[in-house]
């Protein structure tokens, strides 16, 4: 059975796995800010792509939603960057 809820759940599971991987990777490279910055960039990019693909699959993708995920991704990356650089 492949209902809308199942699809939604699967996409959220993918997001959760991605976030757990990000958290573990961020922890593993603790003490090396350059690598943490790289992991932070990867995490932000993953979320932007997840958001876009998720909405495309749902058939609700438009410019505004793409911009929203890009802004959230940039916001997350800038939050991590300022702490890692200084």
Contacting positions for another protein (CB under 8 A): 12, 15-16, 19, 22-23, 26-27, 30-33, 36, 43, 47, 50-51, 54-55, 60, 64-65, 67-69, 71-72, 74-76, 78-86
What kind and span of H or E run contains 37? helix 33-58
For the residues of 47-83, what is the DSSP string, one character each? HHHHHHHHHHHHT---HHHHHHHHHHHHHHHHHHHHH
Nearest approach in angstroms of CB 7 to another protein is 13
Nearest approach in angstroms of CB 79 to another protein is 4
């Amino acid at each position: 059975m492949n209902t809308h809820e199942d699809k939604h759940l699967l996409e959220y599971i993918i997001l959760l796995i991605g976030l757990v991987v990000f958290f573990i990777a961020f922890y593993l490279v603790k003490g090396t800010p350059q690598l943490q910055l790289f992991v932070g960039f990867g995490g932000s990019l993953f979320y932007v792509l997840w958001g876009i693909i998720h909405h495309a699959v749902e058939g609700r993708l438009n410019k505004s939603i793409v911009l929203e995920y890009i802004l959230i991704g940039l916001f997350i990356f800038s939050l991590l960057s300022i702490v890692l650089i200084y």
